[in-house]
């Protein structure tokens, strides 16, 4: 029989995984929405520049978060 502490750990792990899945879906939706927003707001000649800057910012933030997570371990 599984003890109460293990059940609580499994429950919290499940909640965490579901929250991470929703966060991942939300990030992709936000990325898509911002890309469409760039195409609506800026002249077609400048869209590649703003797309590149946006993608560079996303890459920099991702690298920073991954580096912070690796240092904590």
What does the pLDDT read at residue 2?
67
- Alpha-carbon span 62 to 65, nearest angstrom: 5
SS3 (DSSP) at 26: helix
Query: What are 17's two structure tokens?
Result: 């995984």
* Range 17-49 burial, b when 16+ CB lie within 10 A, else e: eeeeeeeeeeeeeeeeeeeeebeeeeeeeeeee
Structural domain spans, the chain: 4-72
Digit-coded pLDDT (tens) for 5-54: 888 888 888 888 898 889 889 888 888 888 888 888 878 788 888 888 88
Q: Is the pLDDT of residue 73 over 80?
A: no
- Alpha-carbon span 31 to 55, nearest angstrom: 9
pTM of the model: 0.62
Overall average pLDDT of the 52-57 stretch: 86
Q: Is the pLDDT of residue 1 over 70?
A: no
């Amino acid at each position: 029989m599984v003890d109460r502490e293990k059940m609580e750990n499994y429950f919290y792990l499940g909640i965490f995984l579901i929250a991470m899945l929703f966060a991942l879906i939300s990030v992709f939706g936000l990325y898509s929405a911002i890309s469409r927003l760039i195409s609506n707001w800026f002249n077609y000649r400048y869209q590649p520049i703003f797309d590149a800057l946006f993608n560079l910012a996303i890459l920099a933030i991702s690298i920073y978060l991954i580096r912070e997570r690796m240092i904590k371990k």
